[in-house]
Structure 1
Amino acid sequence: MICFCIIFLNSCTKNQNIVPYVYVDQYINISLPSYSSLNSIGGWVYITGGSRGIIIYRQSYDQFSAYDRHCTFNSDNPCGKATVDSTNSYVECACDSSRYQLFDGLVIQGPASYSLKNYQTSFNVTTNQIHIFN
């Protein structure tokens, strides 16, 4: 009976499209010209890696956030690659117009209900290197 209930409850849950796991272990040096926008708070860059690329955003002097550009609504759709809007205010999915906060990847407008996939970051102030990893 318990097994039946578990199977029944699992069959009723909404099918979630999950961003695929991709191993990430990258270092970037923000002293390099290609990452110069990260030298100021609120700056961001795209880098390769993750499922469909990664957005790195500078939150404060020594805090960075990094999240996958893989959109979380209908994540199997190949056009689901998030981009930062022209005003640098939010991240948007071209496929479905879902919007996410640039600061932390949280959903601010649906249809997406899941945040962008976050990666861990650490910043070495001495070497100006950000480590992005999962």
Structure 2
Amino acid sequence: MALSLTIALGLASCGDSSSAEPLIPFVSFNESISILDQRYPQLRTDNGSVEIAGGVRGLIIVRQNATTYLAFERNCPYRPYDAACSTVTIDASRLFLIDDCCGSQFTLQGQPRGGPAPRPLRQYATSLSGNLLTITN
């Protein structure tokens, strides 16, 4: 009996430690931008990225290729409710994304590459129709 209880308690303590981290709030939105808009010249080259309004703290749009665009929440998954911080930006090198407050870094595909962030950036759905890119959650 004691062995069964010990095993059960041990298994209960196992698991993904990131599940203890708070999740980013959910906000419903539907944003559309023209990829030819003069404000977004970076969206005309592969791996180009821009920051726009939408989501919780804004969106980062990354062009993978001429037909594929990725959209990520700018709210960092590490301490997402920290009002003074927790905002991801495009690094000055334009090679990765970063939260300057906590030091978390992410690839242009939204995957963590350094720092305390426990999970990837929240990714949103994108669809391209002609020159109109629509981002929704």
The TM-score, its normalising length taken from structure 2, stands at 0.83
Matches within 5 A, 1:48-127: 48-78=53-83, 79-102=85-108, 104-124=109-129, 126=130
Matches within 5 A, 1:19-38: 19-38=24-43
Listed as ranges, the gaps of 5+ residues in structure 1 are: none
Output the amino acid matched with 1:132.
I
1:132 aligns with 2:132: no
Q: CA deviation at 1:110?
A: 2.5
Listed as ranges, the gaps of 5+ residues in structure 2 are: 1-7
SS of 2:60's equivalent?
A: strand
Q: CA deviation at 1:39?
A: 1.1
Question: Root-mean-square deviation (CA), in Å?
Answer: 1.7
Q: How many correspondences in the alignment?
A: 123
The TM-score, its normalising length taken from structure 1, stands at 0.85
SS of 1:72's equivalent?
A: coil
Equivalent of residue 44 in structure 1, options 49, 52, 74: 49
SS of 2:39's equivalent?
A: helix
